Amino acid sequence: MASIKKIGAGVLGVAVIAAAGAGVWAYQTLNTSRSAVADDTLTLAEFTSEDQDAIARGEYVMRAGDCVACHTRGAGAFAGGYEIATPFGTLVSSNITPDVETGIGAMTERDFFNAVRHGQGSEGMLYPAMPYTAYAKLTDQDMHDLWDYMSTVEPVSNPIDENGGMRFPYNQRLAMAGWNMLFFDNAGFDGDPEAERGRYLVDGAGHCSACHSPRNELGAEMASAYLEGGVVDGWYAPDLTQNPHVGLGGSTAEEIADYLRTGSDGTSVAAGPMAEAVEHSLQYLTQEDALAVGSYLTSLDASDVAPVAPLSLETAEMQRAADDYEVNCSACHGLAGEGITGMVPAFAGNTAMLSNPTGMIHAMLKGARAPHTGVLQTAAGMPSFAWKMSDAQVAEILTYVRNNWGNGAAAVDPAAVAQMREDLGAREKIGTPTN
Amino acid sequence: MTSRKSPGMNRRQALFSIGTAAAATGLATTGRAAELHGFPHETAMSADHLPVPAHRGGSFRILTDETDRATLKAAFDRLIPADDQGPSASEAGCLEFLDDQLSRPYGEGAALYLDGPMNREREAAIMGAAQVFATPRDRYAAGLPALEAYAQATDGAAFAALSPDRIDEILTGLEAGEIDLGDDVDGQAFFELMLQNAREGYLADPLYGGNRDMAGWKMIGFPGARYDFRPYIDKRGEELNLTPVSLIPND
């Protein structure tokens, strides 16, 4: 039950606070008046747009927002059913096809705006696993177009009990009002979405901070560490600021655009949840939009993460790791850590892997796959090494690549590998007759 | 029919949308977006593709008779004796290797066709070679006592107690088909089976119980389960001194 979108995971405890904070605060959080621009008479089931331009634009909004990531999972396009494990129980993504009984066919455009931008759905408050926290920034026009697109979606009957797997009191949707009051900025985009196209895409539809910003104990993004990296579902979403040691400090807007549209900037290759995001969403961005995102990201102030002095490779452990690297890794990642352009990540000059090693441990234990995109179609696979390497061996080899070829990073702790092995249900190393 | 005519809409917002920009560019330095469906995202190997290591613990499961084991050890250690090139077959774990294999499908003859129709008397003529109708497990169960009985009958001593030269003589006789081990055992075929299994135990990956410390691989200069030899491909005729690597390394 992997879930990138464990987003609202830590969230729900706040529930109770809802009752307390009435007044203006609550009013601002719950106020949907800016979405009164949308029609409130015609339901989605009754409406089928014939405005082909609007539909095409709406599809692009849908791609940019990556709706399919959660809402298309085996039951048909947008028919929901994706199970999201949280510490409070299991959430299931909703059916957002125009089916009246089981989808959103009974919603008017106003209802749709309220759900997507304000987190207020037809069955009550949405859980913030749905990134309405970011979609709140979507312009009226983008929302109108998205509505037109959704009207063309094939209705699918697929009943979903979204929060039936949540434990009390987290199965009380009203609880989210409390969370919203604490953490949800209900306002629209606070700038000119045309002039600040990159920021609009990153903070709105792209909902990048959902993964790339760290979250507090209640599952809310920490604004003070905006896009400075976060752990999501056993993967690390790297620092996207201009930090030269662990972030995008050395990257140009063009390289970032390439990464978004193809899955690789020539050095690193998307994996895990980011591979899915590239595959289902980001590869659909126009070059202009991808460049806008790149330009915005390269304009961010660097986080204050300091460089780590490289560990010595002269120790017995690192010499052994060098042999292990040659035997197991070098065929694809290269003897000089150079990788294979556009297919296999390089280690040399790959700053994204020098901070939190969670994703690397994950890839070692479960394997990983590059995204399949229109440009880079190999979708090369990283095999799992769980069956042939112990926790100590995995840690050692990761420490080696993180401290070779000009890299410098903290040693990887075998205990972290052991924990991840357990969390992921990865198999133990095969026991041999001599150990 | 649309539902978007709404009085409060800001003109600027009406003109602006994510999609308009999409229509305007067409700059595509790169190809069309494409998604591939139906291929596995998981890359972990399924359990039945993984190697199955030898049992751990060192106790024998099939070769439980001490005399049988002594006979086998004596034969194996003449086929591959200890010398300055490396350890003997038994020192390298060939008995443990064989015992483990005999406890598995190999021992049961899972890959052999052992059912009829067949005419045992004529199979060898039809097939052009001696045919064996027993599983490896049964062949050792019959062959080792037969070998011991042969030594007792001819030399009045246990096979394992014979001199190396005498054992060589018997093995040579078996190989040549000149020694009769009785009706139930084809001596020549049994010799070939032991030779094959001794070699396998000496050279198989250590995870299967033999080739201890990769002694067999070190002897012949085999570098083991390495993934890629491109760094060495141009080093023809050079001593590479590569440390062999097991499929499941223990260091």
Judged against a pLDDT cut of 60, whether residue B3 lies above it is answered with no
In a domain, residue B128? The reply is yes
Q: What is the pLDDT of residues B167-213, one digit of tens each?
A: 999 999 999 999 999 988 999 999 999 999 999 999 999 999 999 99
Q: Tell me if A330 and B209 make a contact (CB, 8 A cut-off).
A: no
Min Cα distance A403 → chain B (Å) is 21
8 A C-beta contact, residue A419 and residue B39: no
Is the minimum CB–CB distance between B233 and chain A shorter than 8 Å?
no
Q: How far apart are CA A71 and CA A287, in angstroms?
A: 26
Question: Which pLDDT belongs to residue B6?
Answer: 43
First to last CA, chain A: 34
User: pLDDT tens for residues B29-38?
Assistant: 456 888 888 7
B34/A377 CB distance under 8 A: yes
Number of domains chain B is built from? 1
Residue B233 lies in a domain: no
Place A22 in a pLDDT band, splitting at 50, 70 and 90.
Answer: low
Residue type, B145: P
Does residue B19 register a pLDDT over 90? no
Q: Looking at domain A316-424, what is its CATH homologous superfamily?
A: Cytochrome c-like domain (1.10.760.10)
Whether residue B16 is predicted with pLDDT greater than 50 in this model: the reply is no
Report the mean per-residue pLDDT for chain B.
86
Question: Would you state the structure tokens that stand for residue B248, as one six-digit string?
Answer: 């499941």
The pLDDT of residue B29 is 43
The per-residue pLDDT for range A35-62, each reduced to its tens digit, is 999 999 999 999 999 999 999 999 999 9
Residue A344 phi/psi, 5° resolution?
-125, 130
B146 with B185: CB under 8 angstroms?
A: yes
CB contact under 8 A, A57 and B228: no
Q: Report the amino acid identity of residue B143.
A: G
A292: CB partners within 8 A, 6+ apart: A197, A198, A201
The answer to whether the beta carbons of residues A243 and A202 sit under 8 Å apart is no
pLDDT-derived band of residue A432, with 50, 70 and 90 as boundaries?
confident
Q: Does A64 contact B18 at a Cβ distance shorter than 8 Å?
A: yes
Helix, strand or coil, per DSSP, at residue B33: coil
Q: How far is A100 from chain B (nearest CA, A)?
A: 18
Task: Tell me whether B30 touches chain A (CB under 8 Å).
Answer: yes
Every domain of chain A and the residues it spans: 7-191, 210-297, 316-424
Cβ-contact A412, A358 below 8 angstroms: no
Residue B49 has pLDDT above 50, yes or no: yes
pTM of the model: 0.87
> In chain B, how long is the greatest CA-to-CA distance?
114
Above 50 in pLDDT, residue A334?
yes
Residue range A166-183, pLDDT digits in tens: 988 889 998 888 889 889
Residue with tokens 């330095």: B29
User: What mean pLDDT do residues A386-402 have?
Assistant: 97
Judged by a CB distance cut-off of 8 A, whether residue B16 touches chain A is yes
Residue A413 corresponds to which amino acid?
Answer: D
Q: Indicate which of B12, B18, B95 best probes the interface with A, i.e. most A CBs within 10 Å of its own CB.
A: B18
Query: Residue B27 has what pLDDT?
Result: 32
Residues 181-220 of B with CB under 8 A from A: 206-209, 212
Yes or no, beta carbons of B44 and A366 under 8 Å apart: yes
Task: Sort out which chain A residues have CB atoms less than 8 A from B60's CB and list them.
Answer: none
Note the pLDDT of residue B124.
80
- Mean pLDDT across the stretch B126-144? 90
**pLDDT tens, residue by residue, B110-124:** 998 887 777 777 878
- Do residues B126 and B38 touch, judged by C-beta distance below 8 A? no
Record: contact B53-A262, CB cut-off 8 A: no
pLDDT over 70 (residue A27): yes
Contact A433 B207 (CB under 8 A): yes
Asked if B3 and A142 come within 8 Å (Cβ–Cβ), the reply is no
User: How many beta-carbon pairs below 8 A join chains A and B?
Assistant: 202
Residue whose C-alpha is closest to residue A350's, from A325, A333, A373? A333
| pLDDT for res A29 | 87
Report yes or no on B215 lying in a domain.
yes
Mean pLDDT of A333-346: 96
Task: Say whether B19 and A194 touch across the interface (CB within 8 A).
Answer: no
DSSP run (H or E) holding A92: strand A89-92
Q: What are the chain B neighbours of A142 within 8 Å (beta carbons)?
A: 17-19
Complex ipTM, two decimals?
0.78
- Which residues 286-315 on chain A approach chain B with CB closer than 8 angstroms? 286-289
The secondary element (H helix, E strand) that includes residue A167 is: none
Place of tokens 């190396």: B164
What is the share, in percent, of chain B residues with pLDDT greater than 90?
Answer: 63
For residue B24, is it within any domain? no
B89 against A85, higher pLDDT? B89
Nearest C-alpha of chain B: how many angstroms from A334? 10
Domain that holds residue B215: 66-221
Residue B92 located in a structural domain: yes
Whether residue B13 lies inside any domain: the answer is no
On average, the pLDDT of chain A sits at: 92
Find how far residue A124's CA is from the centre of its chain. 25
* Nearest chain B alpha carbon to A321: B251
H helix or E strand, kind and range, residue A124: strand A124-125
**A389 pLDDT exceeds 70?**
yes
Cα-trace Rg, chain B: 32
Q: Measuring CA to CA, which residue among A172, A221, A185, A232 is closest to residue A12? A: A172
Number of residues written out for chain B? 251
Residue-level pLDDT at B129: 78
